[in-house]
Structure 1
Amino acid sequence: MLQQPVIDPVALQLGPLAIHWYGLTYLAAFGLFYFLGTRRLAHLPFARLPQWTRKDIEDILFLGVLGVVLGGRIGYCLFYKPAYYLAHPLEVFAVWQGGMSFHGGMLGVIAAMVWFAHSRRRPFLQVMDFVAPCVPTGLAAGRLGNFINGELWGRVADPSLPWGMVFRGAGDLPRHPSQIYQFLMEGLLLFMLLWLYARKPRQQGQVGAVFLLGYGLFRFVAEFFREPDAHLGLLSLGMSMGQWLCVPMIAGGALLWLWCGRRQT
């Protein structure tokens, strides 16, 4: 079996200032979004829409960062530990203690994009179609950060699994490196599928719908290999909280894709 590499979570120490690998993965995520956003400006239909400029990418990125941080934190408090944070409301702001939810961050980003679309008088679905293919590489970067930190490890694996890995703090049994599974599925694979899908003309809203559907499906599968949150365990039907939160994503993505196709044919 493999041992998780022992990597100091602090990438660089400059006196009292500590730069963490996890923070660097966030910076990489934002940088990749900006780079891919500039490429999206050359894709249809945006290449034919002169109102779409690099300034829009900068504004979307700024609003998206706010949405990710605020939505991710609030979502974690509401979805995973509502009773605890209701009893300790000030700890909602203690972000240095950890605790972020992707699904909450996604809702925060959607709210931010609603504001952007309204303020720029752009169709909301058009904005989401622009943003969606630029997101998965950022998710991949975040999962690398989880792996470096040795957190969100997988469930116990069969000892014969060649890539079964012992994680520090998780006992002596080999586990699935679920962070790597998510890096590959929700990150790289979803990016390639979305990028290729978005290169051809689609009905407005369908690219964003494929993101919801694709992420929901990949995350649902990955959760079978990821250790459930200790304070929640498995919920109804033997599904984790992450899987239950993916169900409306999958259903919503499929329905939105069908609705957009029928609405504009």
Structure 2
Amino acid sequence: MLQYPEIDPVAIALGPLKIHWYGIMYLIGFAGAWWLGKKRAKRLGWSDEQISDLIFYGAVGVVLGGRFGYVFFYNFDRFLADPLWLFQVWEGGMSFHGGLLGVILAMLLFARKVKASLFTVTDFIAPMVPIGLGAGRVGNFIGGELWGRETDLPWGMVFPHVDNLARHPSQLYQFALEGVALFCILYWLDSKRPARFVVSGAFLLFYGIFRFVIEFARQPDAHLGFIAFDWLTMGQLLSLPMIIVGILMMQWGKKHNIRDEVSA
């Protein structure tokens, strides 16, 4: 049995200014995506400025979509009771699935700006997204949030601020699968220069599978519990459409074999 290390969530404190590890993880995610985007931009003939714009659009989509998704997917009752709570971002609360919808909308706007297909853009950014996902899960672990269910496995971890029970360190599971494994899969698949839709579909499919599986080890949100059947969580419910759409997109891409022009 392991003991949660009780890491101070504040990385740097300069008087009243406090920089949290979670915010640093966001910066790492965006910086990593920017670096990888610049490295791969030549294939589409995009400039460094366009890559910077792409990351800016994505960042806005993540933050706004993540916040709206958390409020509407996970705390809609609270929003109905206090609509202004939507804007109280300092209280925390972000949703991946909301962030995903926000990014898709942001990429649609970016695609129109650069006169490209939406799925040309999403295929391009898909391998970059796991960098932010992995960094975010490390931030969740440092913050001691989103812990797992009880377990008797030898790597079970006690989170003293929760209780004295050994629990799955589900944040680290998500880092390993949603961050490392998903990045490796998408980067490898992208290196094969597949048809349009395939990489985007693979992102939806594998993220959906990984999230669905990990939810069995992750503690459900206390105010929601299980959505159905005494085992289905909100995270699993929101991941099912991703799996279905991901499969359909990959099949569509392979069938129609539409390919973007790439630079040598």
Work out whether the TM-score is over 0.5. Answer: yes
Match of 2:64 in 1: 70
Q: Which amino acid aligns with 1:12?
A: I
Deviation of residue 120 (structure 1)?
A: 1.4
Confirm or deny: 8 A CA contact 2:62 2:102 kept in the other structure. yes
Match of 2:203 in 1: 211
Identical residues among aligned pairs (%): 54
Match of 1:244 in 2: 237
Deviation of residue 168 (structure 1)?
A: 2.6
Confirm or deny: 8 A CA contact 2:41 2:51 kept in the other structure. no
Q: Distance in 2 between matches of 1:3 and 1:122?
A: 50
Q: Distance in 1 between matches of 2:8 and 2:81?
A: 34
SS in 2 for 1:236: coil
Residue in structure 1 matching 2:148, options 131, 147, 154? 154
Match of 1:173 in 2: 165
Confirm or deny: 8 A CA contact 2:126 2:203 kept in the other structure. yes
For normalisation by structure 1, the TM-score amounts to 0.95
Q: Which runs of 4+ in 1 moved over 6 A?
A: none
| CA RMSD after TM alignment | 1.0
Match of 2:9 in 1: 9
Deviation of residue 118 (structure 1)?
A: 1.2
Confirm or deny: 8 A CA contact 1:25 1:144 kept in the other structure. yes
Deviation of residue 41 (structure 1)?
A: 2.2
Gaps of 5+ in 2: 259-264
SS in 1 for 2:148: coil
Q: Distance in 2 between matches of 1:259 and 1:147?
A: 38
Q: Distance in 2 between matches of 1:207 and 1:174?
A: 38
Deviation of residue 263 (structure 1)?
A: 2.0
Q: Distance in 2 between matches of 1:198 and 1:239?
A: 32
The answer to whether the aligner puts 1:101 opposite 2:102 as a matched pair is no
**1:47-95 C-alpha deviation (Å, 9 max, x unpaired):** xx33x12222101110111100100000011101111101100010011
Gaps of 5+ in 1: none
For normalisation by structure 2, the TM-score amounts to 0.95
**Number of residue pairs the alignment of both structures matches:** 257
Q: Distance in 2 between matches of 1:168 and 1:105?
A: 30
Q: Distance in 1 between matches of 2:108 and 2:123?
A: 13
Deviation of residue 36 (structure 1)?
A: 1.0
Match of 1:263 in 2: 256
Match of 1:33 in 2: 33
Q: Which amino acid aligns with 1:69?
A: V
Q: Distance in 2 between matches of 1:252 and 1:34?
A: 27
Q: Which amino acid aligns with 1:249?
A: M
Deviation of residue 169 (structure 1)?
A: 2.3
SS in 1 for 2:147: coil
Deviation of residue 156 (structure 1)?
A: 0.5
